[in-house]
Amino acid sequence: MEERSCFHCGDPVGKHPIHYDEKDFCCHGCKTVYQLFTENDLSCYYDLTRSPGAIPKELEGKYDFLSNEAIIEKLLEFDDGTTQVTSLYIPHIHCSSCIWVLENLQKLNAGIVASQVNFPKKTVRVTFKEKETSLKDLAVLLSRIGYEPYISLEDHNTANNTVDRSMVYKLGVAGFAFGNVMLLSFPEYFQTEGFWLDQYKTFFRWLMFCFSLPVVFYTGSSYFISAYKGIRSGFLNIDVPIALGILTLFLRSSYDIIFDLGSGFFDSLTGLVFFLLLGKFFQQQTYSFLSFERDYRSYFPIAITRLKKNGTEENIPVNEIEKGDLLLVRNEELIPVDGILIRGNAHIDYSFVTGEAVPIQKKSGDKVFAGGKQLSGSIELEAIRSVEQSYLTQLWSNDIFNKDKEHRFQTLTDAISKRFTIAVLAIAVISTSFWLYQDPSKALNVFTAVLIIACPCAIALSAPFTLGNLLRIFGKKKCYLKNTQVIERLAKIDTAIFDKTGTLTTHRRSNVDYHGITLQKLEEKLLKSALRSSNHPLSRSLYQVIPSESTIPLDIFEEYPGEGIAASYQDTKIKIGAASFAGGLGPKYGQTSVHIKINDTYKGYFLFTNEYRPNTRKLFQSLAKMASLGILSGDNEGEKGFLTRWLPAGVSMRFDQRPDDKLNYIKTLQEQGKTVLMVGDGLNDAGALAQSDVGISIAEDVNVFSPACDGIIDASMFEHIKDLIRLSKKGVSIIKVSFLLSLVYNITGLYFAVTGQLLPVIAAILMPLSSISIVVFTTVTTNWAARKFGEISMKTDKSHMQSNKPPIHLKPDPVKA
């Protein structure tokens, strides 16, 4: 019995097709899309929503368990009392029509804000308003439209963990048939004569025909289905010539044995399909082996401060967080894991999760969710589960933060693929016409060989495998880029701008001296408590040297980017920051300083003798050969003389830069046609990082993760930013070379095919080998180019040790308890 296909997408409809308008559909998605776009019929939506309170009998009581608060809490990813987020496993997600319907659920239920499908995992992530709809309503809605969710309190991935063995089965059938057909073809090859062979020759030929049937209609069905879908969509994909070649060989061979004209080409046919499938199988294995996305995301470099039982603090990677840990989240830090608020005033921005920028207040004992950003001072929370790195990287990949840039290699690949099939079909027709006139016996072989040998797969694989392997290499060396497009933009960088404090300098080695009035015990505790809540590099440095062992809960905490901190406890108010902010005078020698004002009394300032990161000068010397360099700093010009002498000539420097000034400067450079790299600490530089063509944040012990940046580099790898740019440029060169190799392969293959020197079965062997060879080439060359990436220089530049010491040593008045 002939298997029926879906009218919309062409897939088999299975045992339970959906009938509508005398047509069969494989899923409700295809039926809905047909109604909406073919008939312009909106009744499919009205049918689903006209009686929102009515539940079909078969669904009555089925989802009553979703009214249980304990179960709801386990199924929700996010819940702020107004907006809830859940991810549901939908086994019936089938095709692009399913995706379209499931990503437009808000049109079926006004309480749904947004929905996003993860097709490989067959999940849909739904954001909805708690007061307008419920998790139960959502499950009923999905079931009514034919997408019943699989709801389990265990990880839904276990439900979808079965191995797809269809490729193995098809490969086995094709190999079995190919071997037997070759065996039966031996008498034909050697033209052996004899009574026994002549008597059974016809039987052997029909036996070969029988062996070819499962090869064509089972193992080769994916090529016909893919070609049919492409043609129905008005696009000639690469499977069109392959399917045409298989069909031509089968029809011609069947014609030969039916009319007793010969044995046909069943050996070539079965061998062709077998080697095509074998090549596809090895490609899939290669993709799995080089799965760069999984590797680089698994080392996501976010850290958090954990509070020990003895009151001390330690910085740990988020993947080491365990249930029950007490965590400190500072101002502007991301909450990495769900927890219970223990202490502090939580003022949380969940726009990374919900897209809504209205901060939410939480009190002690409330549950807080991963992905929010604390906006007001520091809070302490108890982790109620371990961290999910995939959840944080999902936030990083949110389209809200993606730059709208052209991806030139993707555009080139798409352009080639669209025109390639048309060109191949034209060459096949022209060359076959020539051989029909010149030598008809070669015409069929030429036609089939041309269709098979020419393949744009090698071209299509060049960019994703080169850039993808680079992502994996960078990730292993603690350089984490958001996606492959960042590498493309890095390769075009001609201007590199650096923040100074916390980027060129390191808070770990700063020497701090205090000049001013001795602080009282309460004032010292207030100072330390205010610094504890801030994530600015100078705040972190100062916090480490204040001798007070205890902190006090702050009544008010506010941080003003580029200016300073304001906080209060009972009747005591403190301002910490720039001289203009705290009302003080700058130090005599213009050094980096933090000024203190308590109530209306100016107390003094802390003078920082900063130490620059090792090999900073060497990094600038290397980068000066690749790009124009600049420094943007919020500090005064006190270090300009030293930096001018220390760094290569031609480095532009701007001081007293507020966050808006940095952003506008980047924008000005871009208006001049510059491609700008911005390297900052991820705090006051967020605007500049977002505006730049590539924004990279330096991570050093603290949670400075910002979705605005394109990359995060561990502080220990700072000097290797030059290698990051250099290797990106080499990656682009490798892509161009692999494009050239693919072009040479296709031209050479077409020459032998058109001239009749290439058999279809040999073409079937060479076609997947071309794709595999490109994958191997790009992988080997990128690994070779990166062999020295990340090696620490043995000759460390120690000139940073005397970076900015004042010409006259000032004896400080130490802070006294």
Long-range contacts of 442-445 (CB under 8 A, 24+ apart): 442/756, 444/248, 444/249, 444/252, 444/265, 445/265, 445/268, 445/756, 445/758, 445/759, 445/760
Q: What is the rounded CA–CA span in Å between residue 426 and residue 479? A: 47
Q: What pLDDT digit, counting tens, does each position of 463-489 carry?
A: 777 887 888 888 778 788 877 788 888
H-state helical runs in 546-685: 579-582, 616-623, 640-646, 659-671
How high is the pLDDT of residue 629? 93
CA atoms of 158 and 154, how far apart (whole Å): 8
Cα gap 546→549, rounded to integer Å:
8
Nearest to 752 by CA among 520, 449, 509: 449
Q: Can you tell me which residue has the tokens 């929010």?
A: 372
Q: Which helix (H) or strand (E) holds 391?
A: helix 389-396
Calculate the alpha carbon distances from 757 to 188, 197, 743, 750 in Å. Answer: 21, 30, 20, 10
pLDDT of residue 355: 58
Tokens of 703: 């949670």
Q: What's the confidence (pLDDT) of residue 68?
A: 82
Is residue 327 packed enough to be buried (19+ CB in 10 Å), middle (13-18) or exposed (0-12)?
buried
- What is the rounded CA–CA span in Å between residue 647 and residue 144? 67
User: 0.85 exceeded by the pTM?
Assistant: no
| Measured distance CA(410)–CA(535) in Å, rounded | 39
Q: What is d(CA 743, CA 632) in angstroms, rounded to the nearest whole number?
A: 46
Residue 803 is predicted with a pLDDT of 41
- Which residues are within 8 A (CB) of 198 and not within 5 positions of it... i.e. 6 or more apart? none
487 to 466, 695, 727: CA distances (angstroms): 10, 12, 9
Is 747 exposed, middle or buried, given 0-12, 13-18 or 19+ CB atoms closer than 10 A? exposed
Can you read off the two tokens belonging to residue 603? 């107390």
Q: What is the pLDDT of residue 740?
A: 85
Which DSSP state fits 504? I
Half-sphere exposure in the Cβ direction for 386 (13 Å, CA): 6
Q: Report d(CA 302, CA 712) in Å as an integer.
A: 9
CA–CA distances in Å: residue 424 to residues 738, 749, 750: 20, 12, 9
Helical spans, DSSP H, in 477-578 = 484-490, 521-532, 537-545
Distance CA 780, CA 470 (A): 11
The pLDDT assigned to 295 comes to: 35
Alpha helices, DSSP H only, in 439-570? Answer: 440-453, 457-476, 484-490, 521-532, 537-545
Question: Which residues have C-beta within 8 Å of that of residue 183, sequence separation ≥ 6?
Answer: none
| Residue 197, both tokens | 């062979």
Q: Which segments of 608-706 does DSSP mark as H helices, in order? A: 616-623, 640-646, 659-671, 686-691
**Locus of tokens 């352009």:** 415
Query: 354 by DSSP, 3-state: which?
Result: helix
Between the two ends of the chain, the Cα-to-Cα distance in Å is 91
- What was the pLDDT predicted at 209? 93
Segments of the chain with pLDDT less than 50 = 1-2, 37, 39-53, 155-163, 287, 289-301, 390, 398-401, 403-408, 410-411, 589-590, 702, 793-796, 798-817
Residue 29 pLDDT: 62
Whole-number Å distance between alpha carbons of 771 and 281: 12
Domains of the chain: 57-158 (3.30.70.100), 166-284+413-466+730-785 (no CATH), 303-388 (2.70.150.10), 478-506+613-726 (3.40.50.1000)
The contacts of residue 76 (CB under 8 Å, 6+ apart) are 84, 85, 86, 135
Residue 509 confidence (pLDDT): 54
H/E/C letters for each residue in 152-184? CCCCHHHHHCCCCCHHHHHHHHHHHHHHHHHHH
Token pair of 390 as six digits: 């995939």
Would you state the pLDDT for residue 215? 92
* pLDDT tens digits for range 756-790: 888 766 776 676 677 678 878 888 899 898 887 76
Using CA atoms, how far residue 705 sits from 319, 348, 699, in Å, is: 14, 15, 8
pLDDT at 54: 52
Token digits for 383?
A: 């982790």
- Tokens representing 42 are 């909106």
Given a contact cutoff of 8 angstroms between Cβ atoms, the answer to whether 646 and 805 are in contact is no
| pLDDT of amino acid 95 | 62
